[in-house]
Amino acid sequence: MKISVKVPATAANIGPGFDCLGMALPIYNIITIEETVLPGTGVEINVIPESPMIDEASLEHIPLDENSLVYKAVELLYNSIGQTPSELKINIHSGIPVARGLGSSASVIVGALVAANELLGRPADEVALLSIACEIEGHPDNITPAIVGGLVISSQQEDGTVVYRKIDWPADWIITVCTPDFELSTDISRSVLPKEVPMKDAVYNAQRVGMFIHAVHTKDKELMKLALKDRLHQPYRMKLIQGLDKIMDNLRYIDSVLGCVISGAGSSILIISEKNDIDKIKNTVRDIWADQNIKCDIKTVTVEQNGAQIVNNDD
């Protein structure tokens, strides 16, 4: 039996929503798990790159053995019903750039879990899949939209369960995803964060998450411009993303821009805007990065409403 699952990329930490606000994006990985017939062959994992942003160097960072996220995900699910995975071939068709803040890890964890769950006759429901996936990833803001799609606010409770709600994103607001040619690992990007933050910064973000939710519900552009700010992670991570301070400064002069934020732990950035001036937005980013010898891929998209889906795949 062979199961393929298509999983969207995700942008976590949207604006003030560090570790809690994330959205699915129309860029995909397809994870296929096949039961092989030869006994004792273990688990074979292959990655097939399907994006020009995924090169040999980035593939070297993806473990293909028992240390891989895919293997851990499959193993946890099998263990939850008292079994051990073996005789499996796992292929990852990878369209999501690696280590660019677009949820490539979350996507392979989710794809592997959903495919393995299907192979095993669906022992895990959505609640169980969310908590197993978050146990591996460590935070819910990429995992949840990768499973359920859309813009999502989520929180992992003390008992491991994930509480989430999907929020309708205004159709008139679009997202320009800018991915530079350099990687930034989540471990490095988390290592620059302080263990504690000043009370005034925590209050600043709490105010803005409230503003963000209200601005999205009421399509309030001026409120959204105030809401898309952050003091919990961006000030610390800015220095890891070359050119970002200049990009943010320059985008302030484009009226349709509501905000520019780091996607997940970086290195990609998202520009949230109305539908006009898209070329101006893209050229601003491309020119600033080009001046610093940074190549980039820029896509303008809307939020992907579907999460992980089982698909037919001839792989």
Binding site for ligand HSE (CB under 6 A): 12-13, 19, 139, 141-142, 186, 190, 233, 264-265
Residue 103 or 243: the one with the smaller Cβ distance to ligand HSE is 103
**Phi, psi at residue 54, to the nearest 5°?**
-105, 110
* Shortest Å distance, C-beta 264 to ligand HSE: 4
- Is residue 14 within 8 A of residue 23, CB to CB? The reply is yes
* Shortest Å distance, C-beta 282 to ligand HSE: 25
Question: Which pair of tokens denotes residue 57?
Answer: 């160097």
- At which residue do the structure tokens 């940074």 appear? 294
Residue 213 or 240: the one with the smaller Cβ distance to ligand HSE is 240
* Shortest Å distance, C-beta 265 to ligand HSE: 4
Question: Which pair of tokens denotes residue 253?
Answer: 């002069």
* Shortest Å distance, C-beta 141 to ligand HSE: 5
* Shortest Å distance, C-beta 72 to ligand HSE: 16
* Shortest Å distance, C-beta 182 to ligand HSE: 17
Q: What does the alpha-carbon distance between residue 1 and residue 31 come to, in Å, rounded to a whole number?
A: 14
Q: What does the alpha-carbon distance between residue 110 and residue 7 come to, in Å, rounded to a whole number?
A: 7
Q: What does the alpha-carbon distance between residue 249 and residue 239 come to, in Å, rounded to a whole number?
A: 15
Q: What does the alpha-carbon distance between residue 206 and residue 116 come to, in Å, rounded to a whole number?
A: 38
Q: Which of 72, 79, 70, 78 is nearest to 107 (CA)?
A: 70
Residue 120 or 193: the one with the smaller Cβ distance to ligand HSE is 193
Residue 34 or 137: the one with the smaller Cβ distance to ligand HSE is 137
**Phi, psi at residue 183, to the nearest 5°?**
-90, 160
Residue 10 or 117: the one with the smaller Cβ distance to ligand HSE is 10
Strand partners, 257: 273
- Is residue 115 within 8 A of residue 5, CB to CB? The reply is yes
* Shortest Å distance, C-beta 140 to ligand HSE: 9
DSSP 305: -
Residue 58 or 186: the one with the smaller Cβ distance to ligand HSE is 186
The region, left, alpha or beta by phi > 0 then psi within -120 to 50, assigned to residue 15 is left
Residue 83 or 157: the one with the smaller Cβ distance to ligand HSE is 157
